[in-house]
Amino acid sequence: MNTNQIPDDNDGRVRNLIIVGGGSSGWIAAAYLSKALNFNVNITLIESANIGRIGVGEATIPTIKEELFDFLGVPEEEWMTECKASYKLGIRFQNWKKPASEGGDHYYHNFGEMPVVKGVPLSHVWMYKHQQQGFAKTLDYSCYSASPICDAMKSPRYMDGTKALHYAYHFDALLVSEFLKKWSIARGLTHITDDIIGTDLSETGDIQALRGASGRKYEADLYIDCTGFAGLLIEKALGEPKVTFHDCLLTDRAVAINIPSDSAAEGIRPFTTASAFSSGWTWEIPLNNRSGNGYVYSSAFQTAEDAEREVRAWFGKKADKVDVRHIKFISGRRRRSWVKNCVSIGLSSSFLEPLESTGLYFVYAALYQLMACFPNKDIDPALRNKFNERVSYMVDDVRDFIVLHFCTSPRTDTPYWRANQNELKLPDTLKEALELQKAGIPIRKSYHSNNSLYDSFEAGFDRFWTNSNFQSIFAGVNYLPKQPMPLLRHRPDILLEAERVFDDIQKKTDQMMAQLPSQYDYLASLYTKGKTGEQAVRSVQQAG
Ligand SMILES: Cc1cc2nc3c(=O)[nH]c(=O)nc-3n(C[C@H](O)[C@H](O)[C@H](O)COP(=O)(O)OP(=O)(O)OC[C@H]3O[C@@H](n4cnc5c(N)ncnc54)[C@H](O)[C@@H]3O)c2cc1C
């Protein structure tokens, strides 16, 4: 560590940084900050052996590959093998239009951008065909190759490793924490096990020191609060309140249940499933050895016992002898995530139900913003303000997109779903998106093509949900304008050109269906490579 240290101790730079908390956010912060600060700052992570971790964040979005694992320089065969990871091509939403008891329904929200034809997204040509010509094929199967590939449980990579489709990961969050812990400690991070029981503040109100149950005192220039819902530093020590979203998001409880799976016999689904239930929705996240599941629900509409019964019934016999974990949460974010010399990251900063798998994105995206605003010891308030503005924008923007799923669902079969239609106080930013949809024009057209997932992380941050995302959800629940995009009545050339694009998508899909291996087969081969890699490292170590 500190190979690049510059000897002047009085130049005002941050030299010592303490992270409190060893959950996913603590260890992602540890690895990310070590690398982003060039291994040039003394980083200490303090975690309690007595206070548990959430450890249920298991589905992700595609940017995690480039912005975290590639950034750290860790190849898939290395970390995926250790973390029981699998690929995710999107989310399959089930029964968001009608309950399973009435036959149910499903649609996919895939990754990547839909093609654009002469400036008009394919979604709007699909809408035109659907509404004017009775075109029956749904948007997710017309505009994306990934939907049938999901049904066929294929891998997004060919057997030689070539990437065919955009993807994210499912993984065991606790194993990812362990992996990043080893990675960080091997690169010089100091790891301490202690319970922090007190905080000393200076006259300016900054954190001066942390007091451990062991009797030790810990001092740093900058403190990162990764203590989860406890918010030990940001809330308990510095008193920063939360802005809650209870007026637009009704859920406040989860019951988590992991179920073992036999992937050799059943295969591995390359998608997260989000099924609407009576008072919320259930996630199913297939890993290589088990499925991580849970039901997010509203305690105003269902008791914990009923919720557990409903989720157990859904999974049937497989859930019979499996323990469940009940979790309480408040949707919202800190008014300011960075206060004085303390930056909160992870659950101590914000929480939104994991409907679009954005929890871990919030962690590495906040770290990215922290690097852009990284301070000296004497913190310029403008840096804090900029960071806080960016993090608040990020969380509020995702909140709007999540609320969109609930307020556009046509379900009215339970009090919970009726409340979603009638009682939500919609944010103005979301109202505007809904108005544009009703008027039939695209919302937030993307700046990049489907070939690249995003131009830059910064640009993707500013325009996180694009027209493709919005239209996947709208079409999925049939929230369509009365009339399709007015311009298209005057542009038969666009409609004609779009037919060629639809055909190209179908041809590409047929070719992928024929040639992509199953996710199970691809992972079996990747895992073998990972194991071979580990053995190679061990034999080099033994030889050394
Ligand atoms: C129901 C649910 C489902 C989720 N699903 C997803 C998902 O699918 N995808 C996704 O990306 N995200 C998901 N998330 C979010 C994700 O789990 C979290 O963002 C992530 O795990 C970060 O948690 P954390 O590290 O902030 O907190 P925690 O895991 O709670 O870790 C807190 C740490 O702080 C330590 N600590 C606390 N107090 C002290 C103290 N006094 N002294 C010392 N140490 C202390 C604890 O020991 C622990 O190590 C989900 C969250 C929930 C609740």
pLDDT value for 453: 76
Q: Verify whether ligand 1 is closer than 6 Å to residue 278 (CB atom).
A: no
Kindly report the pTM of this predicted structure. Answer: 0.95
Q: Buried (b) or exposed (e) across 447-481, using 16+ Cβ within 10 A?
A: ebebeebbeeeeebbebbbbbbbbbbbbbbbebbb
For residue 462, report the distance from its CA to the centre of ligand 1, in Å: 25
Answer with the residue of higher pLDDT: 525 or 532: 525
Which tens digits make up the pLDDT trace of 414-439?
A: 999 999 999 999 999 999 999 999 99
pLDDT value for 151: 98
Q: Verify whether ligand 1 is closer than 6 Å to residue 294 (CB atom).
A: yes
Q: Is the pLDDT of residue 380 over 80?
A: yes
Which tens digits make up the pLDDT trace of 445-468?
A: 887 776 777 778 988 898 999 999
Choose the residue to mutate in 18, 19, 24 for probing ligand 1, maximizing ligand atoms within 8 Å of C-beta: 24
Task: Tell whether the torsion through CA atoms of 329, 335, 338 and 340 is positive or negative.
Answer: negative
Residue 323 vs residues 58, 257, 306, 320: alpha-carbon distances, Å: 18, 7, 15, 9
Tell me the β-bridge partners of 20.
46, 225
pLDDT value for 6: 53
pLDDT value for 300: 98
- For 333, the enclosing helix (H) or strand (E) is strand 332-334
Confidence of residue 544 (pLDDT cuts 50, 70, 90): very low
Structure tokens at 281: 């929705």
Mean pLDDT of 241-268: 96
Q: Verify whether ligand 1 is closer than 6 Å to residue 280 (CB atom).
A: no
Q: Verify whether ligand 1 is closer than 6 Å to residue 227 (CB atom).
A: yes
pLDDT value for 5: 53
Mean pLDDT of 65-89: 96
Question: What is the C-alpha end-to-end distance of the chain, expressed in Å?
Answer: 22
Mean pLDDT of 211-233: 98
> Which is the closest atom of ligand 1 to the Cα of 296?
1
Confidence of residue 9 (pLDDT cuts 50, 70, 90): low
Residues in CB range of 225: below 8 A, 6 or more apart:
20, 21, 231, 232, 233, 234, 342, 343, 344, 345, 348, 349
pLDDT value for 53: 94
Mean pLDDT of 96-125: 96
Confidence of residue 538 (pLDDT cuts 50, 70, 90): very low
Pick the residue whose CA is nearest to atom 31 on ligand 1: 23
- Tell me the pLDDT of the chain averaged across its residues: 94
CA distance 184 to 180: 6
For residue 241, report the distance from its CA to the centre of ligand 1, in Å: 19
CB atoms within 10 A of CB 54: 21
Q: Is the pLDDT of residue 527 over 50?
A: yes
Q: Going by CATH, does the domain composed of 16-85+171-243+332-396 fall within 3.50.50.60?
A: yes
Pick the residue whose CA is nearest to atom 2 on ligand 1: 56
> What percent of the chain is modeled with pLDDT above 70?
95
Q: Verify whether ligand 1 is closer than 6 Å to residue 226 (CB atom).
A: yes
CA distance 328 to 333: 15
| Total residue count of the chain as it appears in this document | 544
Pick the residue whose CA is nearest to atom 17 on ligand 1: 57
Q: Verify whether ligand 1 is closer than 6 Å to residue 473 (CB atom).
A: no
pLDDT value for 375: 98
Q: Are 377 and 12 in contact (CB under 8 A)?
A: yes
Confidence of residue 112 (pLDDT cuts 50, 70, 90): very high
Please state the separation of Cα 255 from the chain's center in Å.
19
Q: Is the pLDDT of residue 543 over 70?
A: no
| Known binding-site residue numbers for FAD | 347
pLDDT value for 533: 55
Catalytic positions, written as ranges: 88
Which tens digits make up the pLDDT trace of 306-327?
A: 999 999 999 999 999 899 999 9
